[in-house]
Structure formats: C-alpha cells, structure tokens
Structure 1
Amino acid sequence: MAHRGGIKIGPGEPRYEVLRRGFNARWLAARPDYIRLPRSSAEVKTALQEALDEPASPERSRITIRSGGHCYEDFVCAPDVRVIIDLSLMDGAHVDDGMGAFCMEAGLTLGQFYKKMYQRTGKTLPGGSWSTVALGGHVTGGGFGLLSRQHGLTVDYLYAVEVAVVDRTGTVELVTATRDDDDPDLKDLWWAHTGGGGGNFGIVTRMWFRDLPQAPRSVLSAMGGWRWEEIDEDRFRCIVGNFGAFFEEHQGGPGDEYAALFGILTLNHASQPQIGLMAQIDSGVPNARELIRNFEREINQGVGRELHPLTVAIGEHPVFAAGEVLGEHATFGRVREELLAVPWTVTEKVSAPHNAKCGKHKSAYMRKALPAEQVTALWRSLTEDRGTRREAVVQIDSYGSAVNRLKPDDTAVVQRDSIMKLQHQIYWPADQDGTDHLRWIRTLYRNMYHGGVPVPNEVTDGCYINYPDTDLNDSAWNTSGVPWFTLYYGANYPRLQRAKRRWDPGNVFRHGQSVEL
C-alpha cells in the first residue's frame, strides 16, 4: 500500500514473510506489526514519526532499520521489534555538484554502487566484495575490502551524512552533518558515522563522498588451495606463519612495493577439501604481475606442497571459488586480469534478501602475526572431528598499509595500526540444530585469545563492529574484564556516547550492542 511514509507491508501479505527477516536464517522470530519501505528521505522522516507516535508495549517497542539485511546478530530482526524500516528501495546515486561530492542513498548495494560510481565518474570506493550488502550499514561500521591496503577504508572518504534523528520531544528531523562543520554537535554526528556502527544515532538516509580514488584500469587476481589431506601440523604452522610474517614486513611504509597487494588466507575446517589463498593487486602498480607471483612463493615457502585450483566456496563468498590457481607448478602463469568494463571485485548476483543458512561470526584485529598458541588453537579446532562435515572457516584478511595512515581518533574506527583482520565463521542449515556449531566456534575463539577475546594489547586490537558478536557481552565467554564497547571502539567510545546523548536522547535506536547513553 502506497503512503506518504512509504510502502507498508503487514502480516498476511505475501511480501511480509520475506521482509520480516534478514540474510541470516538464525533470526526468524521477528513478527513486526509491519515493515515500512520508504523511497525518499522525506518518506523516512514520515515513517519514523508515525511509528514513534503509535502505541507500543514494553515487550515489543523497538523500531529497527535495515539497509541490506546482512546483520550477523538479531539487532534488526527479533521478537521485541514492532516496526522494521527497510531502506532497500532507496538506491539512488548521483554527482552532487553543490556538495562537490558523490551522493548515494543508504539502500544502495555495493554491487550497484561500484557500477554507478565507475560508469559516472571513473572512481571507486575501497569497500567489500559481497554485492548485496548495502552501504548504509557497511560504511557506518567502517567498511573495508580488496582495495583497502591501497586506498584505506570507506569512511576515510565520507564527507557528509543525512540522518533522521529524534529529539527529546519525540520529534523527527532530517539533519545533514559534514566533515567541515564548525558546530561541534554536527561534527560529532558526522564522526559517529565514520565507524560507530549502524542503528545507533538515527536513520542514515544519504551519504556524500569526496576525493575518491581513481578506479584501477584492471586488477590482477589469483587464488588457489592446499589440499587438506597433504597438510600436517608443521605445514599448517608454516602457512599461517608465512602469511603473518609477510604482512608484518609489508605494512605499507615508504618504498613498500607491496603496499597495494591484498591477501586472504581462508583456513577451512579439515572436513572440507582445501585451505585457500587469494591475492589481488592493481595492475597499474609497477611489476604487479611479479609481485603477486612473489607473494605466492613467500607464503608457500617451506610448505613443501603445491597449490591447486580452488574448488570450494568460502563461507558467504562463493565468488572466491572460481579463479586462477596460485603456484608455478599449476597455472599461475595465467594470473587473471579483470578489465573494468564492469565492477571488478564482485560477480553480479541477484540481491536475495536472505538465504537458507544460519551463521555465527566473530572477529579480531591483529597487530602482529599470530603467536604460536593461537595457531595451536586454530589447528586443534580446524582438525577436530574431520569425519563430520563442518562448514567453518577462519578467514584472515590482510590489513594495514593505507588503512593505517590516519590516526585512531580521526574517525570512529580506532584500529589504525593492525596488519590483519580475522573473521571466524560457521554455517549450518536452518532446519538443523545449531548447538554443536555454536559450541565449536565459541570454543575456538575462547582458546585463541586470553580471556576469551582479543583484548587490545601489543598483539591483538579488539573486534570489528560490522561483525557483531553478542558473546562479547557474556561473562561466560568474555572473562577478560574488558567490556564489549572497548573491544570495538577503544578510547573513541566516550565521544560516541556524547553523540548518542545529543542526537538520540530517548534511546530510540537501540539493540544488543548499541552505543549506551
């Protein structure tokens, strides 16, 4: 039904069952009164105001916002949610001459965004490679991707945000905050969206980006896998150690020829066929082809086993399963060159709002290579019960380089001296009990980190808010004494609280790990 607050979908309508949930099939219990789909900032304002003015019970009072629906926890879809405001119809993008910036709406997906930006400007944004993720959540959490070692984080280019906020009287207003604002409150509102996470301060409707990097003419990418059947513990330690040592050495300082190379190590459970390795580099970098070959040689040095074509999907990323092999003994001479007539980091896929799998995710920033005890914990969990197929992976992404050019308080992303970022993942069918899968990933994580979490210290530096994990709130799994908000935000948390008190004094926008008043 059309409305000045957008389309309204209630129970009984065919679209309701699809739209009441997100991508992760763990969260199927939400039965909101309705889902609202606004098509403009004005309709967002109206939809939010009407939702606020409606009577609500304490048990079902939350109004939540969804842009792409990929939230890993039940922050958007849960039994206490009364209204979901879905921004997926707000997918416009244009060059804003008045602002001197590229403007996008919050429901625009990464796949749409890369294509529109490249075709209109020849520019790009160093964001993620999962094309159905929307920018409203990805950017506000400090999104990163395969071009981040070359160009930094998405938030490093965020110039302005338009946000629907709620004042102390319950009145909604649209506020635009920029990087250049003299008003400290507005400056805080902009800053809070440079890594403070989504769903904390208001509804982001539009974003503007300035000084975007030129898209590469093409990129070189290569991938391959070691067969698990050929990997013993010593070889496993060699692979993980070589990967960490490489990025400890190549942190993007002056003269570092590998500053633009992005590498991914995918440590699949041993019930799967392979451990995976991927690399990508801008083909315009001097000696790019030789650099990517040297990368493979260094990671495989001392392993004594060659890399084979990668044959398995990686968690939520099936795009990584089809590519050229790393390794001189196979087809490494055919390192793939992807021309940029279309987006180069993603394979276009239908933007399905959900899938049939449940998932649990955890994360860690690494300032140094993984110490021996962490590698031991990985080996034990990844080789546990090889006979039972487990769709689990610890993905280690390279980090640092251009990401670390900014200071920790320049944006809300405090982690600005890490060299790797880990994502611990496990998946299981929605019709299967997840108890054992949750036990597996929780035990692995607890065994990897002292106190059960990657406490900021000389080796680790907390967690990534875009991979939310409510176990960080639970003293049964976090015995470190370090609260969840320190793990995500470090010393930047008090400023985020200041922004919260100013722009969401009624705590309208709240979830299991929202910024506290």
Structure 2
Amino acid sequence: MEKITPEDIRYSDLADKRFNKRFAGKPEYIVLPTSTAEVTAAVQEAVNSKRRLVVRSGGHCLEGFVTDPAVQVLLDMSMMTNISYDTGRAAFMVEAGATVGETYRRLFLGWGVVLPAGEHPGIGMGGHVVGGAFGFLCREYGLAADYLYGVEVVTVDASGKAHAVIATRETNDPNRELWWAHTGAGGGNLGIVTRYWLRSPDAIGNDPYTALPKAPSSITTFRVSWDWKQVDEGAFNRLAKNFGTWCQQNSGAHSPSLPLFSILFLNHRNIGKLEIKGLVTGANARQLIDDHLADIAVPVGVPYALQTEESPWLRFALNPFPELFQPGMDSVAAKVKDAYFRQPLTDSQVATAYRYLTIEAPIGGGLGMATYGGKVNAVAHDATATAQRSCIMDVACNTGWVDPKSAEPSLAWVRNFYKDLFAGSGGVPVPNEQTDGAMINHPDTDLADPALNQSGTPWYTLYYKDNYPRLQQVKAKWDPLNIFHHALSIQPA
C-alpha cells in the first residue's frame, strides 16, 4: 500500500482537492486504494498507529470534516470508479470513487437508465448517497438513497480490527440496520463506503434495463432573470411568496408537475439579477414551464427575460447550467446554511430576506430556494435515515469570497441573515409546522454552536429528528471505538 507524503509530486494536487477553499488540511500521508482489500489494510494501519483517519470521494464537503488540520491519514477513493450490473444482487454496483456524472454516463450509455442523484457532476458518490442525495430529478423519482439496495463498508470492531461488511435492505439481512443508516446518516460516521448497490424498490426480476428508472427522453431547461434595479420591495415580496405558494401546491407525491424542478436565486442586489433556473423532463415541458411562470413570474409585474433550451439527457447531466459550476468556482471559500421548509416563508421572513439582500455591503451571496417534495414525500420518515419527508422547499443562505479580507464580513452577514430568518425559533429551522431542520449533505457546524443555535433543539435533531437514537445504536454496534468522527458525527449510544 503506497503512502503519498508531502515529498511526492502528487501530494499537493491531492491535498488541494476540495470544493470549499475555506478549509485546508495537511495529512501526514494520503492513500489511493484501488480495492476493498486495500481500503481495509489502510484503515487497519491507521488504527494500529493511532492516527486520525478520514475518507474523501469527490471533495465537495461544505465544512472542514476532511480538511481538518487534526487529520493525519486521508483515504482518497478516486481510483475506485467501477460501475457494473451485478446479476447476483440484481442491482447496479457503483464504487465509492465514481462521480455523479460518471454514474449518469455509464448507466445511460450501458442501459438507458438513471439514478436521481446530485446536481454537480463532479460530486463523489461515496459521500453523496449516504447523505440522502437530492438533485434535479428528486421530485419525479425521489432521492438516490431511496434506491440503495446494499452497501459495502469497511468498519472497525471493538477489538480494533478492520473488516469489510455488506449490508442490504433485505428484511432477513442481519446487517440491515447498517444498510438503513447509509440511506441518510451522512458520510464519515460509521466506516468507509467502498461500494453501493442500487435498484428501484419496486423492481422485479433480474433485468438491468428495468432495475432503475428509464432515463428522461429529453431535458428542457429554462432561465428567468429580472434586473434587480427594477424590483422594489413589493415586487420582491410577490416573487418570494409566489414561489413558496407554488411549492406548497405542487409538492404532493402525485402532483402533475413532478417533472419540473426549479431554484429561485434571490441574489444580493450587488449581483444585479434575481433568477430562476429550472428544468423539465419529457414531452410536456413547455406547458409545465408556462404554467410555472404564470403562477410565479407573471404576477410579479416586472419585465423578465426567459431562455429555454432542449437537450438530450446525458448532455445536460454532464454539464448542467454551466454558469453555476463555472471555472473559478474551485477557488471560492464558501458558507452555506441550509433549511427545509414545510410551508412558504412568512411575511416577516420575506421582509428579513429583502433587508439582507439590499443591505449596502461588499457581499456576494443570496438566498436560494429549491423546489422539493414530490416522490421524496412518498416515503415514510423512518423507512430510511432521511427523516424529512413532508417538505416543499430546500432553502439556503449562502455566501462566497476569494479575498481573505472578505471572510469576516461575509460570514457575519450570512450568519445574521440565517439567525434573523429563524428569529422565532432560536435562530435555526426547528422541526415544526413551517420548518423541518436541515440536510446533512449540506452540513453547517453553526447548528452545534449554542451562540448561534439558541432554540434548545440540538443539532442532531435538526438533521435526523426522531431517527437519531436509532442511528446512535447503529454507531455503537459498528463503530464502537468512534474511529470515524467529525464535528457533526453521530455519537455512539
């Protein structure tokens, strides 16, 4: 097993592979395993030498869980990228180092099928699926975790021995609870995922062409933009409220608009534009877009620009909305603060958003509101570890900066914005009639800070709700020595 140390020419590239440049780590060495056996050996060596160990797949963690200065050993999974159909399990096998984009490509070209996974094709599957995994197709098909049939994980037992275990969703599988925890508990908690097996819950037989949903025949994207200078507070209020109302009315599991997904970008006025970016699958796209905009954009009463474009599924999946994932994004430091909503923003929340988005300050960022629900809401809250199954939107306050001098004002702005948005519930989106906690795939360590979370609701309830005690039991069984941990990791029971 080769150890890549700081003297190796590969080290700096590997150490710097991280989406969020807010954090930097310098492990003693990096391992690039190519098999489960090599992962097991690397874990065993780190445990034996009492070195702090983490795993990385795509490097897109929003917090410093992997790039923690305390980390001594980094297992980078990017050499484990195999994707195939496993006839023995009647499911697609995807190794943890494969990216979302490569998974889309192989599933489509090989079999014409799709997994509803994330938005950015560079995200690694290893940390993505285990956190639930939502994206452009979630309203129509659910979460990627809803298709998880099995998982292979390298765990460490109470004696300190590392070994690989396979857990499936079969009701008679003695390891089934370990499978369940990998449907939404988040990465870096229980062990190192080496392989996933993916299959629709209702698939029958052993035909790869029907084991996952058929891929969309086409994708129609739409982009709407308003000039911020033309938008007064009344128009802003109408836009934000119209979007929330549409989400509320169209988030049912059988809504006719499930093929449509959109994000409202309420950007800071510095950015110059307010935008909606969205997509629709299949043939009825133009009608669904027209109806969406008739409910949301037209009543704002301010002229807007509209662009639509139709493309084949794979072309879109490998380069979706290029302006969102443009070159240069990988040099940005960022802070994202996520929240699930079960009802639209209140009048006072919309007023708070307007205030923060028009404040005179050298800030880049905004409030993003993504359509949610649909087939996500067709699954029971305890059937998977993803507990939020009655939401209409995923909302995030976000900011980014390149100049280190901008860090302090940017962080203060986004933290105060979020705190004031949830002023009625201690500064965080507690599970109640209107809000429903936050998504662990968008982790935010502020939720564990008593100065920023004054709700009395602990961070783990915000992420896992009533599923947390069960996750603690899984943690106690499969990682009793707490080898795998980070700032928001599950605590053993």
TM-score, normalising length: structure 1: 0.89
Provide the C-alpha distance between the structure 1 equivalents of 2:26 and 2:248, rounded to a whole number of angstroms. Answer: 48
Provide the C-alpha distance between the structure 1 equivalents of 2:326 and 2:124, rounded to a whole number of angstroms. Answer: 10
| Unmatched 5+ stretches in structure 1 | 309-324, 327-334
Provide the C-alpha distance between the structure 1 equivalents of 2:232 and 2:339, rounded to a whole number of angstroms. Answer: 25
Change (3 A) 1:353 1:231: closer
Alignment-mate amino acid for residue 383 of structure 2? D
Q: Residue 55 of structure 2 aligns with which residue?
A: 65
Alignment-mate amino acid for residue 117 of structure 1? L
Provide the C-alpha distance between the structure 1 equivalents of 2:472 and 2:352, rounded to a whole number of angstroms. Answer: 36
Contact conserved, 2:257 with 2:288, CA < 8 A, in 1? Answer: yes
Provide the C-alpha distance between the structure 2 equivalents of 1:477 and 1:381, rounded to a whole number of angstroms. Answer: 18
Give deviations 1:41-72, integer Å, cap 9, x for gaps.
Answer: 11111111111112x4xxxx420110111111
TM-superposed deviation, 1:466: 0.7
In the alignment, does 2:22 pair up with 1:26? yes
Provide the C-alpha distance between the structure 1 equivalents of 2:271 and 2:317, rounded to a whole number of angstroms. Answer: 28
Contact conserved, 1:268 with 1:382, CA < 8 A, in 2? Answer: yes
TM-superposed deviation, 1:432: 3.3
Q: Residue 157 of structure 1 aligns with which residue?
A: 147
Provide the C-alpha distance between the structure 2 equivalents of 1:342 and 1:272, rounded to a whole number of angstroms. Answer: 28
Alignment-mate amino acid for residue 121 of structure 2? S
Provide the C-alpha distance between the structure 2 equivalents of 1:245 and 1:277, rounded to a whole number of angstroms. Answer: 15
Contact conserved, 1:111 with 1:343, CA < 8 A, in 2? Answer: no
In the alignment, does 2:290 pair up with 1:290? no
Give deviations 1:152-178, integer Å, cap 9, x for gaps.
Answer: 000110000000000011111110000
Alignment-mate amino acid for residue 24 of structure 1? N
- Specify the SS of the correspondent of 1:81: coil
Of 124, 130, 134 in structure 2, the residue corresponding to residue 134 of structure 1 is 124
Give deviations 1:334-379, integer Å, cap 9, x for gaps.
Answer: x311123545363499999992211111100000111111111111
- Specify the SS of the correspondent of 2:426: helix
Alignment-mate amino acid for residue 191 of structure 2? G
In the alignment, does 2:44 pair up with 1:49? yes
Q: Residue 37 of structure 1 aligns with which residue?
A: 32
Q: Residue 274 of structure 1 aligns with which residue?
A: 273
Q: Residue 456 of structure 2 aligns with which residue?
A: 481
Q: Residue 444 of structure 1 aligns with which residue?
A: 417
Change (3 A) 1:352 1:337: closer
Alignment-mate amino acid for residue 251 of structure 2? Q
Contact conserved, 2:253 with 2:378, CA < 8 A, in 1? Answer: no
Map 1:288-437 onto structure 2 (within 5 A): 288-308=285-305, 325=306, 335-340=308-313, 342-344=315-317, 346-347=319-320, 355-385=330-360, 388-429=361-402, 431-437=404-410
Provide the C-alpha distance between the structure 2 equivalents of 1:462 and 1:183, rounded to a whole number of angstroms. Answer: 31
Change (3 A) 1:264 1:347: closer
Provide the C-alpha distance between the structure 2 equivalents of 1:166 and 1:365, rounded to a whole number of angstroms. Answer: 34
Provide the C-alpha distance between the structure 1 equivalents of 2:351 and 2:327, rounded to a whole number of angstroms. Answer: 38
Contact conserved, 2:62 with 2:336, CA < 8 A, in 1? Answer: yes
Alignment-mate amino acid for residue 246 of structure 1? W
- Specify the SS of the correspondent of 2:300: coil
TM-superposed deviation, 1:15: 2.1
In the alignment, does 2:177 pair up with 1:204? no
Change (3 A) 1:251 1:340: closer
Map 1:96-107 onto structure 2 (within 5 A): 96-107=86-97
TM-superposed deviation, 1:305: 1.1
Provide the C-alpha distance between the structure 2 equivalents of 1:487 and 1:298, rounded to a whole number of angstroms. Answer: 31
Map 1:203-242 onto structure 2 (within 5 A): 203-211=192-200, 212-242=212-242
Q: Residue 176 of structure 2 aligns with which residue?
A: 187
478-487 or 376-385, which moves further after superposition?
376-385
Alignment-mate amino acid for residue 238 of structure 2? C
Alignment-mate amino acid for residue 141 of structure 2? H
Provide the C-alpha distance between the structure 1 equivalents of 2:403 and 2:177, rounded to a whole number of angstroms. Answer: 41
Alignment-mate amino acid for residue 495 of structure 1? R
Alignment-mate amino acid for residue 280 of structure 1? L
Provide the C-alpha distance between the structure 2 equivalents of 1:447 and 1:23, rounded to a whole number of angstroms. Answer: 28
Tell me the number of residue pairs that the alignment of Structure 1 and Structure 2 aligns. Answer: 476
13-22 or 211-220, which moves further after superposition?
13-22
Which protein is richer in helix relative to its size? 2
Change (3 A) 1:147 1:188: same
Provide the C-alpha distance between the structure 1 equivalents of 2:189 and 2:370, rounded to a whole number of angstroms. Answer: 27
Change (3 A) 1:353 1:189: farther
TM-superposed deviation, 1:20: 2.2
Alignment-mate amino acid for residue 442 of structure 1? R
TM-score, normalising length: structure 2: 0.93
Provide the C-alpha distance between the structure 1 equivalents of 2:96 and 2:328, rounded to a whole number of angstroms. Answer: 15
Change (3 A) 1:76 1:436: same
In the alignment, does 2:107 pair up with 1:117? yes
In the alignment, does 2:475 pair up with 1:500? yes
TM-superposed deviation, 1:217: 0.6
Provide the C-alpha distance between the structure 1 equivalents of 2:5 and 2:317, rounded to a whole number of angstroms. Answer: 39
Contact conserved, 1:64 with 1:199, CA < 8 A, in 2? Answer: yes
Provide the C-alpha distance between the structure 2 equivalents of 1:177 and 1:200, rounded to a whole number of angstroms. Answer: 16
Change (3 A) 1:200 1:122: same
Provide the C-alpha distance between the structure 2 equivalents of 1:272 and 1:340, rounded to a whole number of angstroms. Answer: 30
What is the percentage of aligned positions where both structures have the same residue?
A: 42
Contact conserved, 1:23 with 1:71, CA < 8 A, in 2? Answer: yes
Change (3 A) 1:354 1:171: farther
Provide the C-alpha distance between the structure 1 equivalents of 2:404 and 2:11, rounded to a whole number of angstroms. Answer: 21
Contact conserved, 1:129 with 1:345, CA < 8 A, in 2? Answer: no
In the alignment, does 2:463 pair up with 1:468? no
Change (3 A) 1:343 1:366: same
- Specify the SS of the correspondent of 2:330: coil
Change (3 A) 1:354 1:283: closer
